[in-house]
Amino acid sequence: MTTSQWDTIKRAARLEKLRQVPLALIIDSPWIPGYVGVNHLDFFLDPQIWFQSHRQIHREFPDIIFVPGWWLEYGMAAEPSVLGSKIKFWPNNTPSECHMLFNIEDVDQLAGYEVEADGFMALTLHRLRMQRQQVLDTGEAFRMATSRGPMCTAGFARNTSDFMIDLIEKPAWAHKLLDLSTRIIIDWLKAQARAMGPTVEGIFVLDDIVGFVNEEYYKEFCHPYLKRICDAFPPDWVKLYHNDASIEACLEHLPDAGFNLLNWGKQTDIADVKRRVGGRMCLMGNVNPLEVGVRGTPGEVRAATLAVLEKSGGEGIVLSVGGGVSPGMPRQNIQAMQAALAEFNQAHFGLRR
């Protein structure tokens, strides 16, 4: 992100009045390799292909804020790899994780972790240090440290279905795994911030598995750990939470956890989300990413984008899709979102592109 783009995100997260609605998109390995036409393994393992892929997209869409920006990630491999998960790599798809914690009681037998030396966290940190100056030379910088959340990390290590059963049948052990996952995540985010440098002023936590529990279980098994993560970082940092599963159980509680920016899925209408947390969080969303973003026509993208913007009233929103950019979203549909936003900003703020 450029300094100007990051200033926009910070002001939006503080719910300051902006002179126009910005557009921000979460882009990562499910979308980028296919869009630029490279092999996934090359994208993950060749530092210059990774760099040039991001650079191409940033040059093609200079007016879009890409979040978190220059995301150096190995799919979802980093967090579960530290807990012993087997990671499989594919030439034309993101990595997949295989759970290895077959009995939750074995959490006490796991070796102590070192984020600087373990699994794909160690590789990511080395790459961040190795390519930091190359990113800075573009005029951009790393701004946010990123991690999967405690429920997601625990679910990947244990197997999500089994972990859901553990919450009911073995809650004490579930808390042990969540506590360990939370400690790892905090140390992981802090290690990234050190590797990225002093330009980092935000964290980005992704945890869709939170959407699998009801409000009672959210309060017991999710909220305390999410709050611990937010509390571990300065109060004035941008704290973005992503969950494109259900947010019904957690929505009202997220501001109290410490998050000030929310990216959510297609399931909950923006008017409802704004009514429930408007004034306490900035909303980043929520054009349908698959049925509209990937499969829709540019006209359908325009209509869906304008619908989201009109319901938002143009305040407390960063326009985005409802989640990350889905694999296969074409250039013309991204351009349709940009054109619809320009139309909205002109009508509501008198701004021309």
Domain annotation for the chain: domains and CATH numbers: 3-349 (3.20.20.210)
2 touches 140 (CB < 8 A): yes
* pLDDT of 353 higher than 80: no
* pLDDT of 184 higher than 60: yes
Average pLDDT over residues 39-60: 97
Reported as a pLDDT band with limits 50, 70 and 90, residue 350 is confident
Q: Residue 286 forms beta bridges with which residues? A: 320
190-245 pLDDT per residue, tens: 999 999 999 999 999 999 999 999 999 999 999 999 999 999 999 999 999 999 99
Distance CA 335, CA 338 (A): 5
Q: What is the DSSP letter of 268?
A: S
pTM of the complete model beyond 0.85: yes
Q: Average pLDDT over the chain, rounded to whole?
A: 96
Average pLDDT over residues 119-138: 97
CA 161-165-170 angle, 5° bins: 140
pLDDT the model gives residue 278: 87
Residue 103: name the closest of 176, 209, 183 by CA. 176
Average pLDDT over residues 74-88: 94
- Residue 165 to residues 162, 187, 230, 290, Cα–Cα distance (Å): 5, 28, 27, 30
- Residue 337 to residues 7, 42, 149, 153, 263, Cα–Cα distance (Å): 22, 30, 29, 33, 17
Q: 9 in helix, strand or coil?
A: helix
258-272 pLDDT per residue, tens: 999 999 999 999 999
* pLDDT of 6 higher than 90: yes
pLDDT the model gives residue 351: 62
Residue 72: name the closest of 204, 265, 179 by CA. 204
Residue 166: name the closest of 116, 74, 99 by CA. 99
Longest CA–CA span in the chain (Å) reads 62
294-317 pLDDT per residue, tens: 999 999 999 999 999 999 999 999
Average pLDDT over residues 158-183: 98
pLDDT the model gives residue 59: 97
